Structure 1
Amino acid sequence: MLDDRNWVKACDAKKVGREDVARWDHSGRSFAIFRTADDQYYATDDICTHEYAHISDGFVEGTTVECPRHAGCFDFRTGEALNPPVCVNLRTFPVKVVDGAVYIDIDER
């Protein structure tokens, strides 16, 4: 059962491979949905904070994603910028998997 957050169905959980990322566009915004080796799901804004590039086109290793444009890395669990040239964290969003579907709370609280 979903709680009172603004949960929006993003995709089937199977769409996101283990240790990979998938792009999801909704209401004019792009989100990156990540899945870890132990089937934990995370979501961030999909646009790099350094320069316009889709994070979902980047390389995922462990819990880190490397931006495809200038190789700056983020911890996608927290959004933390890990190395130059990125210095501003990615925004993260709560994620829930219900009945095989990934839901993201995209509320602007």
Structure 2
Amino acid sequence: MTEPLTLAGLSVPMRALRTLAAEYGDLPTPTVGITPIFPERLDLSLHNGLGEFESWRLALDIRPEHVELREQSGDTWTLRGTAPYAGAEIHLIAYGPTLNSMQAVAGDGGRDA
């Protein structure tokens, strides 16, 4: 049986988070996840649409060809990217509505006026 992880065992993603906050404090606030299941990983989730992803992608130097676009639940798109940063593995994900779901909300089938 392995020894349980201590809080000090999560110092790598916590240090990366501190560094991100110091260097990029003006970027949109993500939901932050740190877990003992992946003690070297820092998860950053953006839930206000896909637009915020680009500023984080640039800050983390994630190349466009390494970004994945996925459809989730038929009405949500996600953008995903991974990058090393300050010794941690950063997992960046943004959630936003698909075009079909935006058209349904607009109620006009997406046609221009």
Task: Provide TM-score, normalisation by structure 1.
Answer: 0.25
Larger radius of gyration: 2
Higher helix fraction (1 or 2):
2
Q: TM-score, structure 2 length as denominator? A: 0.24
Higher strand share: 1
